[in-house]
A and B are shown apart, each in its own frame.
Chain A
Amino acid sequence: MDADNLKNLWNKQVPVPQPDTELLLKSALKIKNKSRNQLLLAMFLGLATIIVIATIGYYIKPELPTTRIGVAFIILSIVFFLISSSGLLRLLLKDADSSLDTAHYLSLLIEVKEKQLKIGTSIMTLYFIALGAGILLHMIEYTRKMSLTAGIITYIVTFTWILFNWVYLKPRIVRKQQEKISAIIKNLEKVTGQLS
């Protein structure tokens, strides 16, 4: 076996027949539309949630402004959750230009992934802050009407739940989100190392 034989063997690989240009372009549009539809669906869901909760907020006619502010925070938390879980973030961040040379492409791709990681974590933190604050503000009006004991028990239960979110749930969700992206970044860095 010598280098020329390698070339001969290489060329013996029979490529799969190429699809019609028209069919290929149709599938290009299909893929493009799919991402666009995902984005539209996420936006629609976000908007629908806001309308539903705003309508509820309007009809409950609360006595205290804290109740309305609480509802607003809860709406916000739902929006944060949708952004972080729907893959919307990936669609919103500009992707690396694939016509760059591999070295540049990889370093840009790593940057994009790091940004995705950072923003993803921040949004999850904002989600938990908004949700906790929203619930606490929202309950002020109703606990005021309760007896002292019932009020204290309600606060203790709510605080315990919020604490559970912060100490257990949040780190778990964030870690799970990060694991996948961190693994990708690590692999991209490994491949970048092969270029030198």
Chain B
Amino acid sequence: MTFEEIYKSYWNKIFRVCMGYVNDRDLAQDIAQETFITVWQQLPKFRNESSIGTWMYRIAANHCLRQIEKTKRLRRDDFPAQLAVKEEPAPDENVQLLYQYISELQEIDRLIISMELEELPQAEIARVVGMTDANVRVRVHRIKEKLILKFSSHGRR
């Protein structure tokens, strides 16, 4: 796969996973771009030891976690100007709630549920985060329960 093909087929997925982690469109966009810049730099070193998807999600997940150490972000003008023009999508309350609830989870749980909702197989998620398959399965189940509970308690309000 060439970089252009990867970039085209993974941009939306990677953006949504970053969005799940930070719940901030600008920041998610920055992390997604940092991810693709790393992918572009490291693609010649990619050895097919894992699938390209697992490899990409690992880079994205680690870039998300890297936010822990960042006090200041890369300046926006470091990135392509066309992205400065933002089209805010019509906000759907439930969509916003879902992303908000996810962003309230612990860091690793945010990554796991984002990849799960992005329909990455659980065995792959396990390989991205470095947990056992069984552990991921249990974790996904618990997170989903937690999210559904949050929605239902919101509905009762």
Contacts and interface: CB of A to CB of B under 8 A. Distances in A.
A122 interface: no
Nearest to A180: B71
A86 interface: no
B63 A194 contact: no
A13 B95 contact: yes
B98 A6 contact: yes
Name B's interface SS: helix
Interface residues of B, number: 67
Interface residues of A, number: 45
A99 B58 contact: yes
A14 B65 CA distance: 23
Contact of A105 (B55, B65, B78, B99): B65
A13 B148 contact: no
B147 interface: yes
Contacts of A9: 92, 94-95, 98
Interface in B49-84: 55, 58-59, 61-63, 65-66, 68-69, 71, 74, 78-83
B130 A101 contact: yes
Contact of B130 (A2, A104, A188): A104
A6 B147 contact: yes
Interface in B77-108: 78-83, 86-87, 89, 92, 94-95, 98-99, 106-108
Contact of B148 (A6, A17, A20, A194): A6
A16 B58 contact: no
A30 B38 contact: no
B40 A25 contact: yes
Interface in B99-137: 99, 106-109, 111, 117-119, 127-131
